[in-house]
Homo-oligomer: A and B are copies of this chain.
Amino acid sequence: MNEVMTDKIETMLGNKEYASVRDILSSMNEADIAALFLDVPPDSIPLLFRLLPKDLAADTFALMETDNQEMLIRGFSDSELKAVFDELYVDDAADIVEEMPANVVKRILKNTDPEMRAQINEILHYPEDSAGSLMTTDYISLRPEMTVSEAIKRIRRTISEAETAYICYVTDDNRRLLGSLSVKNLLLAEPDAVISDIMDKTIISVHTHTDREDVAKDMNKYDFAAMPVADDEGRLVGIVTFDDAIDVIQEETTEDIERMAAINPTEESYFRTSDLRHARNRILWLLILMVSAVITGGILKKYEDAYASNTILVSFIPMLMSTGGNCGSQSSTMIIRCMSLDEIRLRDFFKVVFTEGRIALILSAVLAAAVSLWIYLTVGDGQIALIISLSIVGIVIISQLIGCTLPMLAKRCSLDPAAMASPLITTIVDAASVLIYFFVASKILML
């Protein structure tokens, strides 16, 4: 459907049927228009953008790729630039400014009104991953002594129709938060009711410096459409809205997943990252893990007499190492995800270790039984079957214990548990597996 639409619009542009294009675009949602802009040739974007109605243009602009935003800004007259930025939400404007080169930023700030410029600067001055940098300063604030009709009058005067707002915040003379009231409850209340009587007095807020991941978690926990943000003096300075919280959750999860695969996370999307950057994000861990694997090699080397005379022992190494690695990564992945969802906390350490230990007993029994039966049937050597099944038991138990403890220990040391995932665990478990295997083999074969 998307491609059909793109073709249709391109043909209409070619035929200069601008009014029809405008009609189609006007009936579309800004997210769909932004997606369309990714598919059309870049040189038709400025024309298409100028065909958009003013408020839709600003909404679409906020959702476009940085490159295209920059291209449009460079082509804008000062008044066009001002028109777009006046319609933007402050947090979106701040996000855009953050990504632009210095000379573009200068032009943008020159062409926004002083109030918005001050708000953009305020947001930009907070640390990158903080609530302050995520928040918008567009919110509705009411006074406790207002009546509902006074409040509605105030809202009509101060808030434009374009702004999203679900909750009103009630503050005192020092902008300190006293309570909140949903817009819907304001609509349902009697006109002469007093705000302080009908507001919800349970105050939950975050600090400007709270990590954005914790903000998103709290919003998810409380099912908040918006979370108020307070500064050091406890004054309300902005709100974080649910749509930004969802983006944070997605981005933080992507970072976790990338770390779990031993990739250094970046914020850019896959295709917008250069090959060299991709390689740089992956090479460090590959080198570290390659060098660590040498330890396993060293252990193997120590036993070279054993396998020189019993070459069949070598052929089981991949199976044992891979089973150990898989058990370790199952365990570590489970624990890392549960920790990031707060299902498992540090105080659950021993509970987790015992749980994983019991699971390891069950798994190792099944795997050992399966493998010994199978070796006995194919190789027909009871001694080898015994060596392998005993090794499996030891390897599975050790792997699961390493897999569950390392992420929790990392968290204890304030490191990111996700970095303790599969590849690192696998490398450690590989060494342990080979050690266990040759220890068992040398005991039984009396080498």
Contact = CB atoms under 8 A, between A and B. Distances in A.
A296 to B, nearest CB: 4
Contact of A27 (B187, B202, B250): B202
Interface string A172-197: 00000000001111111000000000
Contacts of A275: 355, 358-359, 362
A247 interface: yes
Given A257-B337, A304-B311, A363-B286, A220 B202 contact: no
Contact of A204 (B29, B278, B286, B318): B29
Contacts of A261: 329-330, 332-334, 422
A32 to B, nearest CB: 8
A29 B222 contact: yes
A102 interface: no
Interface in A288-304: 289-290, 293-294, 296-298, 300-301, 304
A280 to B, nearest CB: 9
Given A330-B262, A330-B282, A426 B359 contact: no
A232 interface: no
Interface stretch (A7-15, A73-81, A366-374, A407-415): A366-374
Contact of A300 (B182, B222, B317): B317
Contact of A286 (B184, B188, B270, B326): B326
A281 to B, nearest CB: 9
A29 B202 CA distance: 7
- The secondary-structure label for the interface of chain A is helix
Contact of A152 (B155, B187, B269): B187
Contacts of A223: 31, 243
Interface stretch (A111-119, A122-130, A338-346): A338-346
Nearest to A295: B318
A417 interface: no
A242 B225 contact: yes
A246 interface: yes
Interface in A246-286: 246-247, 249-250, 253-254, 257-258, 260-263, 269-271, 275-276, 278-279, 282-283, 285-286
Interface stretch (A41-49, A93-101, A158-166, A439-447): A158-166
A308 interface: yes
Contacts of A27: 201-202
Contact of A318 (B286, B315, B321): B321
A319 interface: yes
A386 interface: no
B187 A186 contact: yes
A404 to B, nearest CB: 11
A392 to B, nearest CB: 8
Contacts of A362: 275-276, 279, 283
B334 A270 contact: yes
Interface in A371-423: 371, 422-423
A371 B290 contact: yes
A290 B323 contact: yes
Contacts of A359: 275, 278-279, 282
A325 interface: yes
Given A333-B257, A333-B263, A323 B293 contact: yes
Interface in A106-158: 152, 155-156
A367 B185 contact: no
Contact of A422 (B312, B314, B329, B371): B329
A4 interface: no
Given A225-B225, A359-B278, A220 B246 contact: yes
Nearest to A403: B261
Contact of A315 (B269, B301, B332, B422): B301
Contacts of A270: 334, 338, 343-344, 355
A423 B315 contact: no
The 5 closest A-B pairs by CB, nearest first: A261-B333, A296-B318, A223-B243, A293-B319, A304-B311
